[in-house]
Amino acid sequence: MNISSSELLRQALDSLRELLGPGWQVQEFPEAEDGTAGDAVADSRVQLTPPDQQRFAELLVIAQTTVTPQYADTQLRQIGTILRQARAAQSLLVISPWINAQAQQVLHKHGISYLDLTGNVSISIEHPSVRIETRGAAKSPRAPSESRTVTLSGVRAGRVIRFLADHRPPYRASQIASATNVSLPWVSRLLGQLEDQLLIRRRKRTIVDVKWPEILRARANTYDLLRHNSYVSAIALNGETAVLDDLAQQLQNDDALGKITVTGHYAARLVAPYATGGQLMLYVEAGPHSPDAWANRLGLMRADGGNVLLLRAHDDVVFDRTRTVGGVPHVALSQLVLDSLAGPGRLPAEGEKVLDHMVEHQHEWRLPGPSDRD
């Protein structure tokens, strides 16, 4: 959304007038005698007058095309603190074409009002009493051509996100690039965006803190288990448990069968029991005939709506750090959460239960960061 500050301010004030309703006056503050408009820290000052006109409120308005959590937690927080310490009569209002959920949380935490053009609004004024809370777009309305080239979607991001979740800091971008086989410039750009979103924290060039649960959730929002991993549906006539028993036996007798690992319902319930039922989901290598080859080995009958799904892995990262359960490989916990949160039906709820388990037991599954020699 390419928009000038003046047009952003005009649209935002129109939205504010509509929210306040008839009788309220919303006016930009008159220019100062020297011809300047408002404070140096703000783009405009706005006066809100209620229908009774007995008193009014003043807003210092800051217009930004992008409001990141980091910007909200630093510059905007400092301005808000100064206003409170000075006991200023004005309240701070941040306006933007769109403000993401993380930035909204930071602004709310620091008592800063905000309004975006999609309808995400939180305004709180004591005198005259004003309290407005509305919800707008959860995703950016920005056109694809305007979006940044580095996002949390795609294979490269998936590898980096898995690394950040699976390894305890400290580590540097170069070590992540080496471990994930992703170019250092691309990793650096992605880390910069994660830092803007307050999902990682760096000391100089070293990552010292990673909010890995939030990062996994953010990645899952860009991922769809069944859309990004094409699959073959099949029926196990003797049930899913018999398939797992047969698979364990075959893997024990022949370790050259190829890669296969369990994800989805059956993997989740063994970590954090939540629900019963659901299809047995198995990742296999991405070859065009891999699902059919495994279906033949396991005595499965190909059919729509079957109780077994054989998924062609979108990337070999799904086979990293597999866990052996009952003689059968299961995906790593971080991959299980990603698959579950991005899966159909009850899987997202099961994924949240697995995530709770991971938070409580992270010392058991998170690895130390790589050393320089690694």
How long, in residues, is the chain? 374
pLDDT of residue 32: 47
Whether 33 shows a pLDDT value over 60: the answer reads no
279 contacts 307 by C-beta, under 8 angstroms: yes
Q: Are residues 112 and 77 in the same domain?
A: yes
Among 113, 130, 111, 5, CA closest to 57 = 130
CATH of the domain at 262: 3.30.460
**Alpha-helical segments (H) within the chain:** 5-20, 69-71, 77-85, 101-109, 155-166, 173-180, 184-196, 212-220, 225-228, 240-253, 265-271, 290-297, 333-341, 347-360, 362-365
pLDDT of residue 84: 81
CA 313 – CA 292 distance, rounded (Å) = 14
- For 70-104, b/e burial (b = at least 16 CB within 10 A) is bbbbeebbebbeebeeeeeebbbbbbbbbbbebbb
Q: What is the arithmetic mean of pLDDT over 238-249?
A: 94
| The two three-digit tokens of residue 221, written as one number | 């929002």
149 or 58, greater pLDDT: 58
pLDDT of residue 147: 45
pTM, rounded to two decimals: 0.73
Residue owning tokens 């024990």 = 252
| The two three-digit tokens of residue 39, written as one number | 């404070």
Residue 96 domain-assigned (yes or no)? yes
CA angle 66, 71, 73 (to 5 degrees): 140
Q: Are residues 313 and 301 in the same domain?
A: yes
Among the listed ranges 85-94, 218-227, 262-271, 362-371, which one has the minimum average pLDDT value? 85-94
Helix, strand, or coil here: 301? strand
pLDDT of residue 31: 46
Residue owning tokens 């800063």 = 112
Q: pLDDT tens, 93-126? A: 999 999 998 899 999 999 999 999 999 999 998 8
Choosing from 171, 202, 222, the residue where a domain stops is: 222
CA 272 – CA 287 distance, rounded (Å) = 32
Choosing from 100, 134, 168, the residue where a domain stops is: 134
CATH of the domain at 106: 3.40.1350
Number of domains observed in the structure of the chain? 3
Q: Tell me which residue range forms the domain holding 20.
A: 5-134
Q: pLDDT tens, 272-321? A: 988 778 899 999 998 888 999 999 999 999 999 999 999 999 999 999 99
326 contacts 316 by C-beta, under 8 angstroms: no
CA 32 – CA 138 distance, rounded (Å) = 39
Q: Are residues 231 and 116 in the same domain?
A: no
Choosing from 193, 222, 251, the residue where a domain stops is: 222
Whether 190 shows a pLDDT value over 70: the answer reads yes
Looking from the CA of 262 toward its CB, the CA atoms found within 13 Å total 26
Q: Are residues 9 and 69 in the same domain?
A: yes
pLDDT of residue 162: 97
Q: What is the arithmetic mean of pLDDT over 197-225?
A: 94
Whether 197 shows a pLDDT value over 70: the answer reads yes
Q: Are residues 260 and 349 in the same domain?
A: yes
Q: Are residues 119 and 178 in the same domain?
A: no
Among the listed ranges 40-44, 53-57, 256-260, which one has the minimum average pLDDT value? 40-44
CATH of the domain at 187: 1.10.10.10
pLDDT of residue 373: 54
